[in-house]
Chains A and B, each alone.
Chain A
Amino acid sequence: MGGGSKVTVVDTLRLTAEDAAGLLEGRELSAAELHRAYLDAISERDGELHCYLRTVDAAEGDGVPIALKDLVSTRGVETTAGSRILAGYVPEFDATVATRCRQAGLPVLGKTNMDEFAMGSSTENSAYGPTHNPWDPTRVPGGSSGGSAAAVAAGLAPWALGSDTGGSIKQPAALCGIVGLRPTYGTVSRYGIVAFASSLDQIGPLTKTVRDCALLYRVVAGRDPCDSTTVEVPPVEIPEAEDLKGLRIGVPTELNEAEGIEPGVSEAVGRAIELARELGAEVGECSLPRSVEFGLPCYYLIAPAEASSNLARYDGVRYAIREPADAYMEMVERTRDAGFGDEPKRRIMLGTYALSAGYFEAYYGQAQKVRTVIADEHRAAFEDFDVLVSPTSPTVAFELGAKTADPLAMYLSDVLTIPANMAGLPGLSIPCGLSDGLPVGLQLIGPQFAENTLFRAGHALERALGFDVVPERYR
């Protein structure tokens, strides 16, 4: 910027990551200036929204800055997973995805709020207070990656990473009117991600556009020797085509007609499916009866079972908080009682029970068998279709406090995202319209490793839908 005569005004509300990268490449502004622009937006709007638990002031890297969900370990930056039990814990190491972001030159903007240990669908379970939805601050942003989703929607980050176990990327993306990808299980390293349920946890992007989503997925995906469950990933293609010719789209009846889906949500999704047909897709109905009936109950056996074991390491011995006591077991009990909120406690108890001698086969063992059934059912559907579509969430963003007293009602927020997750399949949520002035998400599910197909379909639909991702109140 030679003479300093040219001033680039950054509208972080509209700026996509791809556009931001263009500005950096064209030397229209520096990475530090870009970083500063987002920090300014954060000081302006995050007081109301509470997307961030902490920000990082210095831009480390010459690329587009990124927000990381607070369960991504960041060397030297406190990482709490939204829990009091990890208050003050500063990792000695970077999660593999954080390393990949650094290697790609993406400076970390900050760590975003989340439901404690990713357990929740509203970000109200954070020990540090809830995040508010940028479309309507009396409403939740969804969860558990609510901080990341709201930050992107409110222009407080060009893009962000979240994690998805039962729907924690897709559902908040839907409720905040942005794009979210839960990748195929095994494509993105979990090394350094504070674990909730290991066989379900996946890291993925939250972005304004499908192209941004593909670009960020390209940065983080790939086999990692530190995570034995990762695999080689096919090359990521950044989508360009604006039609859907030749694409076979299946509409699973049970996912689209499930009890509890709001009429406004059904309408918006119906219009998007119609649009897909106009773009050249072949649309047909299909069925996933057992996946939808058993997905949620089995998820609530497997995820808590794994969580009960994953959370055992928080014993007060080595790091973070400790409640002193005279004896070891008493210290452990007091630390965990003081450190965990209600939802982790509830799930630890559920999971401990499900794994107990005499119950294991009937609960955990049986749930794993059902998981195979769910995977088989999806595999059969993908013989006829390339992509399956449904609403991402049965409802639009709900009022803060509306479901906190009723855990089961909260669990039902994920009833449409859980089946594909149980099968380890990739799912993309894109905004497809408004209902009562609030965003509705369209879920696109593909077979394993079909991220490129999802990007292609999502991109074409996104162009045709022309959804404005800037919340109305900020326009």
Chain B
Amino acid sequence: MSWEPVIGLEIHVQLKTRTKMFCACEAGFGADPNRRTCPVCLAMPGALPVPNARAVEWAVKLGLALGCEIADRAVFARKNYFYPDNPKGYQISQYDQPLCVGGRFVVPGPGGDHEVGIVRAHLEEDAAKTVHVGGAGGRIGGSAHSLVDFNRGGTPLVEIVTQPDLHSADEAKRFLQLLRQTIVELGISDAEMEKGTLRVDANVSVRPAGSDELRTRTELKNMNSFNFVARGIEAEIERQIGVWDAGGEVVQHTYDFHAATGELTARRSKEEAEDYRYFPEPDLVPVEPPRELVDGLRGELPELPGARIRRLEAELDFDTALGLVTSGRDRLYERTAGDRRAVANVLMNQLAGAGVDPDAVDADELGRLIEARERIPRAAFAEALAKAAEPGFSADPYLAEEALADTAALAPIVDRVLAANPGQVEAYRGGKEGLLGFFVGQVMRETDGKADAKAVSELLREKLAASR
């Protein structure tokens, strides 16, 4: 039987507001443990939360980018549970009246658009960080003692919940890449999985291909890169198919993905039976985003990555379009005149290699460079790209350089290179024609990159054949 995976994601985005969600403490990395704390985020008796207006605004912005409805009235709720990283004994989150509901996010793919439903996006506060010292697996059980750093506690988070609309690990990864790019472009989060500013849990099930039933799902946690998300989902899909094929039954459970081994380990099931006893947070009044604010933010939304990929795909190919957009180079691509394929290649290869901020590059100058790239020395081209983002950059000095294409001048250099590498010459003549690149490189080095690569190749081929 062939199986279709059904995947839904829960994503936590840590907002990069200057201060925390409910107090004036500075948010972000870098301070000594427990330095960025106050009575509110340490849950001292009597301390009260005050919502961060910027965080609310940014959550609305994200909700709009996800195509959500923005609630006229959103209500903070308490999620009650005991854990050392949860100082109040409850997390302030949103429950039955979230800020953003019912969106859709378009993920373009090689085979066409795929629409992912967004159930909701709501605001909440991050937990503190615990370090469990001694014991197995960094878990609280069995550790010798635990240390808590409350610096992260209370940082604003947006939790996004998707519909189970994704049907492969690859699709999930692409969705996440696009979502991440969208978040970064909105300027509301660094959204880096490695740093934990973007966190993803996946709900995975499989069903017989063609059916629309929903079978028991499992939850995957602890995946801290897009690749690990994809690998974790892949592994879980395989595991579930194995269970069903063997006549077994998938059991609802939470698994941790271990990147080093590619293994999934089940969490103790006790933690899943928790009753969070949600109720409206009585210390806060409902959030009522003014219509004008929401409309204003909607008007400011940039064209979203998904749409841009679709647009670029028409003149390139899907993978290049995806690469340009998810690396944030597509705006420069569009600003730069010239052969589309050539511009895309330079941006994705040489410019990316040069580590240049694409948004700081003067596109007119870049266009002139790319147009002349066949003609000017390779080294000059590379140097020009490296400096392309500098203020006041001009392509002129580089365009003035001509590649050394004069055979008479190149011939002695070529002879010298061949004489210096007799072993390689023999190997070439023995059929290893791939060594041509090696010789070209040597000549380039001798000429400080000024030689015309095409002329050098011709000359080399000629000389290597002639004296055979």
Do they bind each other?
yes
Docked Cα-Cα span, A228 to B282, in Å, equals: 10
Give the docked Cα–Cα distance between A131 and B49 (Å): 33
Interface pair B44/A93, CB less than 8 Å apart: yes
Name which residue of chain B comes closest to A85, CB basis.
B45
Among candidates B42, B80, B89, B282, residue contacting A198 with C-beta atoms closer than 8 Å: B282
Q: Nearest chain B CB to A358's CB is how many angstroms away? A: 9
Q: B83's closest neighbor in chain A, by CB?
A: A328
Q: Does B88 contact A (CB under 8 A)?
A: yes
Which B residues touch A357, using CB under 8 A? 275, 277
Whether the pair A228, B141 counts as a contact (CB closer than 8 A) is no
Q: Whole-angstrom distance from the CB of B298 to the nearest CB of chain A?
A: 26
CB pair B89 A229 closer than 8 Å: no
User: Within the complex, what minimum Cβ distance (angstroms) separates B87 from chain A?
Assistant: 6
Interface size on A, residues (CB 8 A): 45
From residue A322, how far is it (CB to closest CB) to chain B in Å? 12
Interface centre among A197, A317, A360 (most CB of B within 10 A): A317
Question: How distant is the Cα of A100 from the Cα of B306 in the complex, in angstroms?
Answer: 55
Cα distance A309–B45 in the bound complex, in angstroms: 12
Task: Give B283-307 as 1s and 0s: 1 = Cβ < 8 Å from A's Cβ atoms.
Answer: 1110000000000000000000000
Given A312-B88, A313-B87, A313-B89, residue A319 in contact with residue B47 (CB < 8 A): no
Q: For residue A81, which residue of chain B has the nearest CB?
A: B45
In this complex, what residue of A is CB-closest to B85? A317
- The CA-CA distance from A95 to B48 in the complex, in Å, is 10
Listed residue (A86, A318, A329) with the most chain B CB atoms within 10 angstroms of its CB = A318
CB < 8 Å neighbour of B82 from A194, A305, A312 = A312
Of A22-30, A185-193, A382-390, the stretch lying at the interface with chain B is A185-193
**Chain B residues with CB below 8 A from A79, complex form:** 45
On whether the beta carbons of A356 and B46 are closer than 8 Å, the reply is no
Q: How far apart are the CA atoms of A81 and B80 in the complex, in Å?
A: 22
- Contact (Cβ within 8 A) B87 A318: yes
Verify if A315 is at the interface (C-beta below 8 Å from B): yes
How many Å lie between the Cα of A225 and that of B87 in the bound state?
Answer: 22
Contact with A along B19-58 (1 / 0, CB 8 A): 0000000000000000000010011111111110000000
Size of the chain B interface, CB-CB below 8 angstroms? 31
Set of chain A residues within 8 Å of B84, measured between Cβ atoms: 315, 317, 328
> Smallest Cβ distance from B137 to chain A, in angstroms?
16
Secondary structure class of chain B's binding surface, majority of residues: loop
A138: Cβ under 8 A from any B Cβ: no
- The answer to whether B45 and A355 have CB atoms under 8 Å apart is no
How many whole Å from B195's CB to the nearest CB in chain A? Answer: 26
Q: Is the CB of B46 within 8 A of A195?
A: yes
- Interface assignment of B122: CB less than 8 Å from any CB of chain A: no
Q: Determine if A309 and B44 form an interchain contact, defined as CB atoms under 8 angstroms apart.
A: no
A308 to B45, CA, bound (A): 14
In the bound complex, how far is the Cα of B403 from the Cα of A253, in angstroms? 104
- A residues 293-322 near B (Cβ < 8 Å) are 305-306, 308-309, 311-313, 315, 317-319
Q: Can you sample 28 A-B contacts with CB below 8 Å?
A: A71-B46, A73-B44, A79-B45, A89-B45, A92-B44, A95-B46, A191-B46, A191-B47, A193-B46, A195-B45, A195-B46, A197-B282, A228-B49, A309-B80, A309-B89, A311-B89, A312-B88, A312-B90, A313-B89, A317-B84, A318-B42, A328-B140, A328-B146, A352-B277, A355-B279, A356-B275, A356-B277, A357-B277
Residue positions of A touching B, CB distance < 8 A: 71, 73, 79, 81, 86, 89, 91-93, 95, 190-195, 197-199, 225-229, 305-306, 308-309, 311-313, 315, 317-319, 327-329, 332, 352, 355-357, 360, 364
